[in-house]
Structure 1
Amino acid sequence: MAKEDFMKNVLYVVNVIYAVFGLVTAATGIWFFVQLMEFVRLRNTNHYLLDYRVYWPQVAPWLFIILGIMIMLVAFCGWCGTNRESRGMLGIYGGFLSFLILFQILSAVFVFVYVDGEDTDRFIKDTVYDGYYNTQNNRDYEKQYSWIERKLKCCGANDARDYRSWRNDLPLSCCADSKNITVCDFTDKEANERLGCAKVASAYTKIISSSVAAVSLLVALVEIVGVIIAWRLFHYFREVEHYIPEKKEGETEC
C-alpha cells in the first residue's frame, strides 16, 4: 500500500510540473505572437497581396499555445484520475499523455528543422526592410520602427549606415540612451557598432523557438515517467477492484 501511495504522490508532483510547463508554454506562445505582430505590422501589404504562404515564425506561436493548453488539460485529467483512483480517467490520461509526448517530439523536430532555416531569415528580413523603407515617408512606420530599434537595441535594417543615404544624423532610437540626449550623429560609437534589426530579430526568433522546443523535449522525458506510473496505478486499481467482494442483498458491513 505504501508503494502505491508513493506512486500517487509522485504522479501528483509530475502533473503539477506538467501544468506549470503548459501554462508557461501557452503564455510564451501568446507573448511571441504579440511580438511578431509588431513586426508584421511593418510589412507593406501591397507587396504581399498574392503571397499566401504561411511562414514558420507565424506558425510557431500557435504551436506553442495549442501545446500549452493540451498539456494543462492532460495534467488536470491525471490529477483527477489519481485523486479519485479512477481507472477510466487514468486510462484516458495515459493514452492522451502518450499522444502528447509524440506531439511534443514532432513539434520540437519541426521547430528545429524549419524555424532555424532560410525561410525564417527571409520572412524576418523582408519584414524589417519593409518597415525601414517605409520610415522614410510615413511617420507612423517611423514610430513603430523606432520602437523595435529601442527594444532590440539594433539600428537600421543592415546597420547604422543605412541612414546615411537620406539623413544627416542617426535616429534617437539608435543611441545608447535616447531619453537623456537630443542628438545622435554618425560619430556615436555605440550606434555605429549596433547590428541591423534584420539580423537581431532573426536571431531572437530562432533563440526563442529553439529554447521552447528544447524544454519541451526535456518535459517529454518527464512525461514518460507519468505514463509509466499511470499504467502501474491503472493495473493496481484493477487488482483492488477484483478482490473487493460484492455485498449480498441485506448484508451489512459487519
Structure 2
Amino acid sequence: MAKEDFLKAILYCVNIVFGVFGLVSAATGIWFFVQLAEFVRLRNTNHYLLDYRVYWPQVAPWLFILLGLFIITVAFCGWCGANRESRGLLGLYGIFLTLIIVGQLIAATLIFVFVDGEDTDRFIKDTVYDGYYNSQSNPDVFKAFGWIERKLKCCGANDARDYRSWRNDLPLTCCLDSYYRATCDFTDKEANERLGCAKVASVYTKIISSSIAGASLIIAIVEITGVIIAWKLFHSMREVEHYITERKEGETEC
C-alpha cells in the first residue's frame, strides 16, 4: 500500500502540472487569436472574398485552445482515477494522455515546419500591407493601425518611408511607445530607424508559435512520466484486487 500511495501522490502532482499547462495553453491560444484578429480586421474584406485558403497562423491558436481544454479534461480524469482508485478511469487516462502526446508531437512538428515558411510570411505581410493601404482612406483603420505601431514599436508597412508618399510628416504613432510616451519629440530619427510592421509582426508570429510548440515538446516529456505512473498504478491496483479475491472466506491477514 505504501508503494500505491506513493504513486498516487506523484500522479496528483503530475496532474496539477498538466492542468496548469492546459490552462496556460488554452489562454495563450486565445491571446494569440486576439492578437492576430487585430491585424486581420484591418484588411479590406473585398480583397479576400475568393481566398479560401487557411494559413497556419490562423490554425495554430485553435490547435492550442482545443489541446489545452483536452489536457485539462484528461488531467481531471487522472485525478479522479487516482482518488477513487478506479482502474477504468486510470486506463482511459493513460489512453487519452498517449493520444495527447502524439497530438502534441504532430502539432509541434507541423508548426516548426510550416509557420516558419514562406506562406506565413506572405499571409502576415499581405495582411499588414492591406491594412496600411486601407488606413489611407479609412480613419478607423488608420487609428487601429496606429495602435499596432505603438504596440510593436514599428512604423509603416515596410518602413517610415511609406508615409512620405501621402503625408508631409510621420504620424505621432511612429514616435510613441506602448505607454504613450514620446520618443522623438524633436527629430524623426528614431521613427525612421524603426522596422516596418510587416517585418516585426512576421518575426513575432514565428517567435510566439515556436515558443508554444517548444513548450509542448517539453511538457510531453512530463506527460510520458504520467503515462508510466498511471500504468504502474493500474497494475498495482490489479495485484491488490487479485490478492483480495484469492483470499478464502473467513481468512484474515494474520
Q: TM-score range by the shorter chain?
A: over 0.9
The one-character-per-residue Cα deviations of 1:213-250 (angstroms, maximum 9, x if unpaired) are: 0000000011000111111111110110111148999x
AA matched with 1:193: E
The CA distance in 2 between the partners of 1:46 and 1:226, in whole Å, is 50
Residue in 2 that maps onto 1:12: 12
Q: In the alignment, is residue 49 of structure 1 matched against residue 22 of structure 2?
A: no
- The Cα of 1:253 is off from its aligned counterpart by 8.8
The CA distance in 1 between the partners of 2:167 and 2:132, in whole Å, is 13
AA matched with 1:115: V
**For the Cα contact (< 8 Å) 2:184–2:191, is it kept in 1?**
no
Q: In the alignment, is residue 114 of structure 1 matched against residue 138 of structure 2?
A: no
Residue in 2 that maps onto 1:3: 3
The CA distance in 1 between the partners of 2:252 and 2:56, in whole Å, is 63
Counterpart of 1:164 in 2: which secondary structure?
helix
The one-character-per-residue Cα deviations of 1:79-103 (angstroms, maximum 9, x if unpaired) are: 1001111111000000111111000
The CA distance in 1 between the partners of 2:181 and 2:14, in whole Å, is 49
The one-character-per-residue Cα deviations of 1:172-218 (angstroms, maximum 9, x if unpaired) are: 11004584559968x41111111000000011111111101000000
Q: In the alignment, is residue 214 of structure 1 matched against residue 214 of structure 2?
A: yes
**Structure 2, unaligned stretches of length 5 or more?**
none
Q: CA 1:140–1:176 in structure 2 vs 1: closer, same or farther (change >3 Å)?
A: closer
TM-score (norm 1): 0.93
Residue in 2 that maps onto 1:233: 233
Q: CA 1:58–1:236 in structure 2 vs 1: closer, same or farther (change >3 Å)?
A: same
Q: CA 1:111–1:85 in structure 2 vs 1: closer, same or farther (change >3 Å)?
A: same
- Number of residue pairs the alignment of both structures matches: 252
Residue in 2 that maps onto 1:193: 193
Q: In the alignment, is residue 124 of structure 1 matched against residue 109 of structure 2?
A: no
The CA distance in 2 between the partners of 1:155 and 1:6, in whole Å, is 57
**For the Cα contact (< 8 Å) 1:170–1:184, is it kept in 2?**
no
**For the Cα contact (< 8 Å) 1:154–1:200, is it kept in 2?**
yes
The CA distance in 1 between the partners of 2:35 and 2:219, in whole Å, is 25
- The Cα of 1:252 is off from its aligned counterpart by 11
Query: Percent identity between the aligned chains?
Result: 74
Q: In the alignment, is residue 83 of structure 1 matched against residue 44 of structure 2?
A: no
The one-character-per-residue Cα deviations of 1:134-154 (angstroms, maximum 9, x if unpaired) are: 111110110110011011110
The CA distance in 1 between the partners of 2:136 and 2:239, in whole Å, is 75
- Mapping of 1:31-70 within 5 angstroms? 31-70=31-70
**For the Cα contact (< 8 Å) 2:175–2:183, is it kept in 1?**
no
Q: In the alignment, is residue 25 of structure 1 matched against residue 44 of structure 2?
A: no
The CA distance in 2 between the partners of 1:75 and 1:203, in whole Å, is 34
**For the Cα contact (< 8 Å) 2:8–2:82, is it kept in 1?**
yes
**For the Cα contact (< 8 Å) 1:171–1:184, is it kept in 2?**
no
The CA distance in 2 between the partners of 1:154 and 1:28, in whole Å, is 23
Q: CA 1:180–1:148 in structure 2 vs 1: closer, same or farther (change >3 Å)?
A: closer
The CA distance in 2 between the partners of 1:115 and 1:104, in whole Å, is 15
The CA distance in 2 between the partners of 1:96 and 1:226, in whole Å, is 11
Q: CA 1:184–1:168 in structure 2 vs 1: closer, same or farther (change >3 Å)?
A: farther
Residue in 2 that maps onto 1:242: 242
Cα RMSD after superposing both structures: 2.2
**For the Cα contact (< 8 Å) 1:176–1:190, is it kept in 2?**
no
AA matched with 1:225: T
AA matched with 2:58: Q
The CA distance in 2 between the partners of 1:142 and 1:157, in whole Å, is 12
Counterpart of 1:21 in 2: which secondary structure?
helix
AA matched with 1:78: G
